[in-house]
Amino acid sequence: MAALNGWWDDYFWGALVIFQVFFCSLGFMIIFGLLGAIAKLSANKLAHKVANAYTVAFRGTPEILVILLMYFGSAIFLTAVAQLFNPEVKFVDIPPFWAGTIAISLIVGSYATETFRGAFLGVNPGSIEAAKALGMSDIQTFVYIRIPEMWRIALPPFGNHMLSLIKDTALISIIGLNETMFVAKQAITVTGKPFTMYIVVGAIYLGFSTVVTLSVMGLEKFGERTTAGVK
Amino acid sequence: MSEQSKKYLIQMKNVDKYFGEFQALKNINLEVERKERIVICGPSGSGKSTLIRCLNRLEKHNKGQVFIDGNELTDQIKDINAVRREVGMVFQSFNLFPHMTVVKNLMVAQQLVRKISKADAKQRAMHFLERVKIPEQANKYPIQLSGGQQQRVAIARALCMKPKIMLFDEPTSALDPEMINEVLEVMVDLATDGMTMICVTHEMGFARSVADRIIFMDLGEIVEESKPSEFFGNPKNERTKNFLEQILTH
Ligand SMILES: Nc1ncnc2c1ncn2[C@@H]1O[C@H](COP(=O)(O)OP(=O)(O)OP(=O)(O)O)[C@@H](O)[C@H]1O
Ligand SMILES: [Mg+2]
């Protein structure tokens, strides 16, 4: 334990990075998932095909590879663009934070696409007809009826997607994101204590996952109040 | 907007409706005046639901014309929701919003469609809940109510929009027998109050006492259209006679 002296603040900042990645990627993941689901359910053939290609590609490739391709791919592109203006430039990249966040949002978003699609299909068509018959517009029906009814169906698998986001954050260390995994690697080279350093990382990730799991359980309870009542 | 189509609250002229190859409505002509109460009956699959769903454009007709209070329903119609809010509809399976309390079910469309303030919407919701005799259920969720209570909430929800017309699609056929009367009472009350109504129902007692006209449909056509006394006492068509025999001996 003495080996940890001097590393606590690094772990703390690393944990904060996990937290930031989680919130940003959660937002993007929901957006990608909703867009994907809407495209898959739409009558538009092109939208349908694009969404299918998206889910096939991102569910069928190793996550770490997506992160690497996203980071180096965008770096090659940006470097080439920058060299057009200034041939002296050697290397331009987007910050690993954003490359990684977008990469894991796209990966988990492809799973969320299927979750949301199924959940939209699970909404009682009778509710939709009732809303139409009352004169509600398509957008009003979407916001006030479809979304609130579908999230209750989507919640349990959605909880798993949130856990995936948290765990995938560790992978982003490979492109140099200074989260806890990255901290541990540095600490190991200095102290030569891999087990101790990695167990701290494990404890931090487990802490985050537990908070997420408990939140999802709370939300499920909240959603169930409409279905679990006594007669 | 012709003078004639303005005279009737509902007018259907030579309406055909197809589902793919299958013709669900054949040359339907129907005129309903203000405060008229129409009952539609007929065997399963005869097109009763399709007919009334064409009146608020939940189904689009393929041929002919449909007018609601003088407005023709076409693909070009600018604001179908302006028509829909004047036409209340009650479904066989209630179709309440499961994630909202009873009172919210009654308020949501008032606020979004009629742009009524929250306080006024709530007041109106409570007024109509009193009218269907379940104000004490206001804060429960639909799943916590009996079928009869849910259907009465659904009727109140439609009434909150202050519609000119109420359409009922077999409102009692999903209900246990002991709950049918509480829903029929509400409908009779509405009819007495002068609401223009079209009810698809096989409750012949209700039809006899409330309807101004009874329409019998079979195979997508209106086969017979007459006053209740005539309809029950002296049906003209063979198909009507057969249907009545079956349903009245049940
Ligand atoms: N969306 C649809 N697609 C294809 N066929 C349909 C559709 N809706 C109705 N039909 C067909 O149209 C015919 C008329 O249906 P409709 O629901 O209007 O009958 P109904 O008189 O209301 O019958 P029920 O008493 O069973 O409610 C039926 O044969 C039905 O199978
Ligand atoms: Mg029907």
Give residue-wise pLDDT tens across range A179-194: 999 999 999 999 999 9
CA distance B30 to chain A (A): 21
Q: Judge whether residue A104 has pLDDT over 80.
A: yes
Minimal CA separation from A231 to chain B, in Å: 5
For chain A, what is the domain count? 1
Which residues 110-139 of A are in CB contact (within 8 Å) with B?
A: 124, 126-127, 129-137
Mutation choice for ligand 1 from B23, B48, B216, CB with most ligand atoms inside 8 A = B48
Rounded-to-integer distance, Cα B9 and Cα B63, Å = 20
> Is B41 close to ligand 1, i.e. is its CB under 6 Å away?
no
pLDDT of residue A227: 63
Mean model confidence pLDDT for chain B: 94
**B174 Cβ partners below 8 Å, 6+ apart?**
B92, B93, B94, B147
Q: Assess whether the C-beta atom of B71 lies below 6 angstroms from ligand 1.
A: no
**Rounded CA gap, A60 and B213, in Å?**
63
Describe the crossing of helices A63-85 and A96-122 by its angle, rounded to 10 degrees: 130
What phi, psi does B198 have (nearest 5°)? -125, 120
On whether the CB atoms of residues B166 and B10 are closer than 8 A, the answer is no
Q: Is B141's CB within 8 Å of A149's CB?
A: no
Q: Give CA separation, A77 vs A84, A183, A225, B48, B128, in Å.
A: 11, 29, 51, 62, 64
Cβ of B49 below 6 Å from ligand 1: yes
Return the ligand number nearest the Cα of B46. Answer: 1
Nearest-CA residue for atom 17 of ligand 1: B49
Residue B136 has pLDDT above 50, yes or no: yes
Nearest CA in chain B to A136: B113
- Mean pLDDT over B8-33 rounds to 96
Phi, psi of B88 (to 5 degrees): -80, 145
What percentage of chain A carries pLDDT values higher than 70? 97
The stretch A32-41 carries a mean pLDDT of 96
Q: Tell me, what's the ipTM?
A: 0.93
| Whether B53 contacts B11, CB under 8 Å | no
Point out which residues pair with B216 in neighbouring strands: B41, B224
pTM of the model: 0.87
Closest C-alpha among B108, B113, B158 to residue B132: B158
Contact A133, B89 (CB under 8 A): yes
Asked if residues B47 and B216 have their Cβ atoms less than 8 Å apart, the reply is no
The count of CB pairs under 8 A between chains A and B is 80
The pLDDT-based confidence of A40 (bands split at 50, 70, 90) is: very high
- Convert the pLDDT of each residue in B149-159 to its tens digit: 999 999 999 99
Query: pLDDT band at residue B248, thresholds of 50, 70 and 90?
Result: confident
Q: Is the pLDDT of residue A230 over 50?
A: no
Sheet holding B71-72: strands in order across?
B22-32, B10-19, B63-68, B71-72
Name which of A126, A132, A225 is nearest B93 (Cβ-Cβ): A126
What is the nearest CA distance from A24 to chain B, expressed in angstroms?
Answer: 29
Type of residue numbered A63 = E
Greater model confidence, A224 or B244: B244
Give CA separation, B47 vs A38, A106, B50, B204, B233, in Å: 32, 47, 5, 19, 25
What is the extent of the structural domain holding A8? 2-227
Determine which residue's CA is closest to atom 28 belonging to ligand 1: B45
Give the CATH number, domain containing residue A19: 1.10.3720.10
